[in-house]
Chain A
């Protein structure tokens, strides 16, 4: 059980971004992805989310394989990228309630409470600060009851109190048997382990690529 990434490779625009990455994340644990910019942290998250095609390897989550059973795989994950997926013209509650309906969630009030957004509910998203927008973007994770959270730099532009709040939200999620794969440069105090992606895990680009183009 848990998340199992086996010998995953990923190619973008003819360049091998990830090469034979293997990692495991047991239930109730988080894995922090670390490594310098451009090493492929975001690519790994997008590949595990199924947004990028894998060129080799496999991803399984609680026995469900991403390549063969996408739909049930997607029902077990929640993804938040470095974009917050917020419509500035809509209010905080309007933004979140659309997602609640899309994901068939009835936890709107609870989510607002957890992410300290109740007082901001009627504020238009364009009038929110960067940190408040980030909180709104992350709140979407909690709406749907998903086992695996994929988070790309969740604590960028957040103050210490909010980081603590996010850490609590993640810890609560892990406490119910959830998992999280978190790309981060900043220290994040959640139960789990670190996984360092290094440039060495990338193979050199295909030397025959230019001939074939």
Chain B
């Protein structure tokens, strides 16, 4: 356990040091979401309708932004070789990496989302559901991303192919997440959508470390 927590701490330290890019995802989320009123016009009623989808797509894209570095840096400097030979199973390692990714992208943007929801005129009663759905959903996004990152780790400039690979896999999370928020905004019961989202995220968290670990082992050989 000590080894895993120290690896997560190392990833967090690296993210917050120079060139780590911890703030980039957050700034990207901010800008993408603030661009929408310029595109669809300042009508508050229209903004309220598109707010759930906008916030969720913004979250999705900013989670994607730093994915390609998840294993790439460790692969390039030889760290992944050493980790593969360590007593820590590759599956736990993938889970630790994905968790560190969520802590530096998903969690901060979940905290920022209510602030942006105000600018998009999202009804106040939907705020709790927005926070809950983003917190649960982005965890799944980070783990799905880990799977995508493990497949493209050996490729130079694999960022684009990673996006093409991972974005379709994000669709179910997007549907349930955005639906949860828009149901709450419309005064309906969003609990079913949130439960389905949570189930989906749990499934992703349980399955992807095994798939990603298998992919990484092939990449190292």
Q: Does A87 contact B (CB under 8 A)?
A: yes
- Whether A85 and B18, one on each chain, are in contact in the complex, defined by CB atoms closer than 8 angstroms, is no
Q: Per-position contact with A for B150-182: 1 when CB-CB < 8 Å, else 0?
A: 000000000000000000000000000000000
Question: Which residues of B sit under 8 angstroms from A85, Cβ to Cβ?
Answer: 77-79, 81-82
A49, A74, A79, A84: which contacts B87 (Cβ < 8 A)? A74
- Whether A79 and B82, one on each chain, are in contact in the complex, defined by CB atoms closer than 8 angstroms, is yes
- Whether A102 and B83, one on each chain, are in contact in the complex, defined by CB atoms closer than 8 angstroms, is yes
CA distance A104 to B20 in the complex (A): 27
B7, B13, B85: which contacts A79 (Cβ < 8 A)? B85
Chain B residue at minimum C-beta to C-beta distance from A100: B6
> A-B pairs with CB below 8 Å: how many?
75
Given known pairs A74-B87, A98-B10, the reply for A87 and B2 (CB within 8 Å) is no
Interface-facing stretch out of A1-9, A89-97, A168-176: A89-97
- Whether A81 and B81, one on each chain, are in contact in the complex, defined by CB atoms closer than 8 angstroms, is yes
Q: Does A160 contact B (CB under 8 A)?
A: no
- Whether A52 and B6, one on each chain, are in contact in the complex, defined by CB atoms closer than 8 angstroms, is no
> Of A89, A94, A102, which is in contact with the most chain B CB atoms at under 10 Å from its CB?
A102
Question: Which residues of B sit under 8 angstroms from A104, Cβ to Cβ?
Answer: 2-3, 87
- Whether B81 and A102, one on each chain, are in contact in the complex, defined by CB atoms closer than 8 angstroms, is no
Q: Does A192 contact B (CB under 8 A)?
A: no
Task: With both chains docked as a complex, state the minimum distance between the C-beta of A72 and any C-beta of chain B, in angstroms.
Answer: 10
Q: Is the interface of B mostly helix, strand, loop or mixed?
A: helix
CA distance A78 to B79 in the complex (A): 13
Q: In the complex, given contacts A90-B13, A103-B3, A104-B2, what are 7 additional A-B residue pairs having Cβ atoms less than 8 angstroms apart?
A: A53-B221, A74-B85, A83-B77, A86-B77, A87-B77, A98-B10, A101-B2
Q: Does A50 contact B (CB under 8 A)?
A: yes
Question: Which residues of A sit under 8 angstroms from B19, Cβ to Cβ?
Answer: 89
Q: Does A51 contact B (CB under 8 A)?
A: yes
Question: Which residues of A sit under 8 angstroms from B220, Cβ to Cβ?
Answer: 51
Q: Which residues of B1-27 have CB atoms within 8 Å of chain A's CB atoms?
A: 2-3, 5-7, 10, 13-14, 17-20
Q: Does A75 contact B (CB under 8 A)?
A: yes
Given known pairs A90-B10, A102-B7, the reply for A77 and B81 (CB within 8 Å) is no
- Whether A77 and B78, one on each chain, are in contact in the complex, defined by CB atoms closer than 8 angstroms, is no
Question: Which residues of B sit under 8 angstroms from A140, Cβ to Cβ?
Answer: 82
Q: Which residues of A86-142 have CB atoms within 8 Å of chain B's CB atoms?
A: 86-87, 89-90, 94, 97-99, 101-104, 140
